[in-house]
Structure 1
């Protein structure tokens, strides 16, 4: 058991990254509106994420380079290279800055459900003090600049988040047979298509591929370590997926339809299942917010470092400048209640374009013997990867159409 814990890698950080407030809210709405009927979509998302994240981890360990570095190295056409690197920078760095406000707001919702609102109002100006509290926690953990510290801290938050959501799901006493049917029998109820797309889109996250390829180098460096990385990835993504499933199960217990986020779900569970349900769910929502508030700036800093070719580490000024900027913007937007819709729409469009592009580039990289030697993809891995690419392409098109209100 001690040896197993010793070989835990960045997997829990990846799980912490994709279980953010957006995922929690979407899983809540999936459960409230469609019961257990969309659990199969979550299961499909988990399988796709395991395959893509394993590829990113294998690429990082064998090459000892981040995904952005390898893209710069392997794409020879200078114009195409600049376009791809530009898309990556915009979608990951600017995109994560836009979404950071949502991450911090998610952590705030969890705290407010228990402690109430801490808002200072002066005439037309209002300021949420809890956003500063969440921001300070994230800042302190990132500023330490130690991978091992971040790993242990985020593992603790993921365990807290897991226990919170699992206990909430158990309290609702769900029908196990109905859960199995929801997982194994695909159904597409009326008006559920966008929710299915959203469940996949919040699990298969582009910036996680970059983050994973960069972080595995901090932990492992030889081909013998691949088995540890694979096991770490599978366990962590399964855990993250089970958290999402637990949220859907919890939300399915509520008959009231007027629920828009997990904080509403926490309040809705209280009269039916007691205050314990509310507290467990609120703690889980806080943990989801704080983990994403840490991993989003971290991923952006790694991507910027690799795209610009900085020879830096977690404690360097340039690396810190990127994550500090993103974190501060998130705190400001969440504090004063600004909803930067247009700012968020732009990276959504770019992310919609980036996900299938990165998927196909990742598949191409995984077949380059010059990069991976004997550790290239098998035919089975390529077949599954191509199927995932088709899903991400469909996802990307739907996301862009949704942003332009064309779907």
Structure 2
């Protein structure tokens, strides 16, 4: 039987239909959007910190790192998009299908740490922008970013296209602001050209270069892109998939080159304004803002800088929260209410930022921003290596696996990133050991963690090669296991409704119903499709979830009929809380059997109480069956 699973970002999954009989330009525009939402992560405030530090300390010499990072990002994001388009799985879901639960838990924690580090940069950046423009204290600025959660909910309710338009508008503000800044700074074009020649002046430059790579090629963007491309509903034929891959690559190419322009502009601005004037220690965003006006001769320089910073922080916090939702749902297969999911992912970002500001003070924000980008770079290998494995699998990629040269380039990028990170970790540990008064703690705690990370990296590299043919576990109970007993109890009810959700609770729900009615009663099994398409289009919905749910319901019905029971089925659409009650009230049933999934009050808060909602809307008895 086909595996039943949650779609990635289910609220907007396949919510944008691609019309086939239209012009090529309209098709291209229909596919455009996901990469622009991803690209804001490549121009977030964390990038600003590394770009300003690189430009002020080394002039134009690290522009080549930005260019190399952009090429890396383009290749890796195209692989991420390919995974989502072909396999209809995001990177977190594909990892859950491939690796064991303990490994997935570690990968999930690493992904959450990366998102927390990324969000730390975004939250701090936006708070700094609000402080610079409106003189709001950083602590208040960080707290205000909590409102992003409600903005995200509002935008998603309006549809993914409205959210994409909002993000593109913010990108336009950032790009226009720095275009004007470039004219004001009047950089040296010859020096910019020389900066494209690779060179690493010293170890500090290496640290900043790794930070730039971490700030540019972001792990959470790989999770995000593989999910966002699934918002498009297109022809699933080989020609249609090939077209989707091509148009999404074009989307990525344009969006990421816009991000490269912004990053290069920040570094060039820092080089032209600070390095040129001998200010080599400018690494704080606040210092850059303060010095721009006297150096460039106009107050608009500092205002545009702050406006662009707020736009960058706002756009990247929205996409960072979405990435947190994708990671949580993908690795843990956890289905909780959207507003709760987003508040959790928002808090994971805000709490570290608040603690950092309270404990270290506002003066440490620049170092925290740079550190957050290095943490992102350190986590990259754990996202890139599984991604390369997944898109190289010829069986699962259905003829759309990457070619030999793309595979070589991808592994080369992974090798470069992992090698640079290994050197950074080794150098840092060596420094800590030689400078610490009590190195025993470093040997007891830091070194074992580094060794564990190295072994985990080796494991995720080797495992897919060893177990290429590992079968994906079926998340739906086997049909033969559903009927657990046939009772000869006296018949009390003759028309019994059974609400199913294709979880393990179904087994007990059906068994309990059979004990109530025996073989002379008539049973009606009910399931409600909960996708966004189902809520909008009702019984005219023809998405993957509807098709698979219809199949499961028929299989349940056939299995029960084969055992001599009288069974019919009803597939409804929308919210289970409303639809189950509607179906029951429209039909002549004696009793409804409904699974309670063993929730307690806390889980009910997270998942919503279908039982309570249905109980108050029906007039027949309700039998609640718990799964424990």
TM interval, shorter chain, is 0.7 to 0.9
Cα distance, 1:31 vs structure 2: 0.5
C-alpha distance after superposition, 1:107-155 (max 9, x if no partner) = 1212222222x34xxxxxxx8323333331x122212234223212111
The worse-fitting range, judged by mean Cα deviation, of 382-391 and 213-222 is 213-222
CA contact (8 A) 2:213 2:377 kept: no
TM (norm. structure 1) is: 0.86
1:58-97 matched pairs, under 5 angstroms: 58-75=82-99, 81-97=100-116
- Distance (Å, rounded) in 1 between the aligned partners of 2:291 and 2:372: 33
1:235 and 2:235 aligned: no
Provide closer, same or farther for how the CA distance between residues 355 and 209 of structure 1 changes in structure 2, counting only shifts above 3 A: same
What secondary structure, in the 3-state scheme, does the structure 2 residue paired with 1:174 have? Answer: coil
- Distance (Å, rounded) in 1 between the aligned partners of 2:228 and 2:206: 34
What secondary structure, in the 3-state scheme, does the structure 2 residue paired with 1:236 have? Answer: helix
Cα distance, 1:219 vs structure 2: 2.4
Cα distance, 1:394 vs structure 2: 1.7
Cα distance, 1:57 vs structure 2: 0.1
Which of 358, 368, 379 in structure 2 is aligned with 1:338?
A: 358
Larger radius of gyration: 2
Cα distance, 1:258 vs structure 2: 3.8
Q: How many residues align?
A: 386
CA contact (8 A) 1:210 1:303 kept: yes
C-alpha distance after superposition, 1:290-324 (max 9, x if no partner) = 122222221011111111224x5xxx61x432321
C-alpha distance after superposition, 1:257-312 (max 9, x if no partner) = 342222321211100211111111111111121122222221011111111224x5
Find the counterpart in structure 1 of residue 151 from structure 2.
141
| Unmatched 5+ stretches in structure 1 | 76-80, 120-126
CA contact (8 A) 1:32 1:251 kept: yes
Which of 324, 348, 365 in structure 1 is aligned with 2:343?
A: 324
Find the counterpart in structure 2 of residue 193 from structure 1.
206
Cα distance, 1:353 vs structure 2: 5.7
Which of 153, 157, 172 in structure 2 is aligned with 1:159?
A: 172
Provide closer, same or farther for how the CA distance between residues 230 and 348 of structure 1 changes in structure 2, counting only shifts above 3 A: closer
CA contact (8 A) 2:46 2:373 kept: no
CA contact (8 A) 1:157 1:291 kept: yes
TM (norm. structure 2) is: 0.57
- Distance (Å, rounded) in 2 between the aligned partners of 1:220 and 1:249: 41
- Distance (Å, rounded) in 1 between the aligned partners of 2:281 and 2:95: 46
| Unmatched 5+ stretches in structure 2 | 1-24, 433-628
Cα distance, 1:68 vs structure 2: 1.7
The worse-fitting range, judged by mean Cα deviation, of 289-298 and 396-405 is 396-405
Find the counterpart in structure 1 of residue 621 from structure 2.
none
Cα distance, 1:378 vs structure 2: 1.2
Provide closer, same or farther for how the CA distance between residues 355 and 339 of structure 1 changes in structure 2, counting only shifts above 3 A: farther
1:163-312 matched pairs, under 5 angstroms: 163-183=176-196, 185-190=197-202, 191-221=204-234, 222=236, 223=241, 224-253=243-272, 254=274, 255=277, 256-273=279-296, 274-310=298-334
CA contact (8 A) 1:297 1:322 kept: no
Which of 50, 54, 58 in structure 2 is aligned with 1:30?
A: 54
Larger helix proportion of the pair = 1
Provide closer, same or farther for how the CA distance between residues 160 and 92 of structure 1 changes in structure 2, counting only shifts above 3 A: same
The worse-fitting range, judged by mean Cα deviation, of 380-389 and 358-367 is 358-367
- Give the CA RMSD over aligned residues: 2.8
Cα distance, 1:248 vs structure 2: 0.3
C-alpha distance after superposition, 1:209-237 (max 9, x if no partner) = 11110111012544021111110111111
What secondary structure, in the 3-state scheme, does the structure 1 residue paired with 2:201 have? Answer: coil
Provide closer, same or farther for how the CA distance between residues 86 and 344 of structure 1 changes in structure 2, counting only shifts above 3 A: farther
CA contact (8 A) 2:292 2:302 kept: yes
C-alpha distance after superposition, 1:331-389 (max 9, x if no partner) = 45545723589x99999898566422332222221221222122111111011111101
- Distance (Å, rounded) in 2 between the aligned partners of 1:284 and 1:398: 34
What secondary structure, in the 3-state scheme, does the structure 2 residue paired with 1:373 have? Answer: coil
